[in-house]
């Protein structure tokens, strides 16, 4: 409930670590260091690379490095890259077929809360998480 998934946790841990290192870091290196399952760490880093938060270099001697400044990396984007869109209730973006459709009295206000929540996480950057 209102939980940040473990994947996002792992993603933030990795981003912080990459920020603290100058050189390329291997996926396995990070997963071992923090006790994160290797396959999961790998996929998260792949996702972050696709979204251009980090750069991946394939092959032997490959690895990942941060390519954005910490101020340009905010929590909302990280969450959405890893877990998909922030959606506090299913009805707001229309995923769940809602038995309350038509009579529901909270959709509008909650859409508003959701928007504010996105702003909330947009305002938290890697700079804040490094402190």
Instruction: Give the binding site for its own copies (CB under 8 A).
Output: 1-6, 8-9, 12-13, 16-17, 20, 33-36, 75, 79, 83-84, 86-91, 99-100, 103-106, 108-110, 112-113, 116-117, 120, 124, 128-131
Per residue, the 3-state secondary structure of 51-62, as one string, reads: CCCEEEECCCCC
Continuous segment of H or E residues that includes residue 66: strand 63-66
Binding DNA (rule: CB under 7 A), the pick from 64, 75, 79, 125 is 64
Taking the C-alpha atoms of residue 81 and residue 108, their distance in angstroms, rounded to an integer, is 26
How far apart are CB 61 and its own copies at their closest, in Å? 25
Burial classification of residue 70, based on how many CB atoms lie within 10 Å of its CB (0-12 exposed, 13-18 middle, 19 or more buried): middle
The nearer residue to DNA, 71 or 100, going by C-beta atoms, is: 100
Question: What number of CA atoms fall less than 13 Å from residue 119's CA on the CB side?
Answer: 6
> Of 10, 44, 14, 7, which is closest to residue 29 (Cα–Cα)?
14
Give the count of residues interacting with DNA (CB under 7 A): 28
Contact between 28 and DNA by CB under 7 A: the answer reads: yes
125 binds, among its own copies, DNA, none (CB under 5 to 8 A by kind): none
Task: By CB under 7 A, tell whether 103 contacts DNA.
Answer: no
Residues forming contacts to DNA in the complex (CB under 7 A) are 1, 3, 5-7, 26-28, 37, 39-40, 42-43, 45-46, 49-50, 56-64, 83, 90
């Amino acid at each position: 409930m209102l939980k940040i998934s473990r994947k996002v946790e792992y993603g933030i841990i990795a981003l912080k670590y990459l920020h603290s290192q100058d050189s390329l870091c291997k996926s396995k290196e990070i997963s071992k260091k923090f006790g994160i399952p290797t396959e999961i760490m790998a996929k998260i880093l792949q996702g972050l690379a696709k979204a251009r938060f980090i750069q991946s270099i394939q092959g032997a001697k490959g690895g990942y490095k941060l390519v954005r400044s910490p101020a340009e990396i905010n929590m909302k984007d990280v969450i959405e890259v890893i877990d998909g869109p922030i959606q506090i209730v299913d009805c707001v973006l229309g995923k769940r077929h809602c038995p309350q459709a038509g009579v529901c009295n909270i959709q509008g206000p909650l859409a508003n809360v959701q928007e504010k929540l996105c702003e909330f996480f947009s305002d938290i950057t890697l700079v804040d998480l490094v402190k």
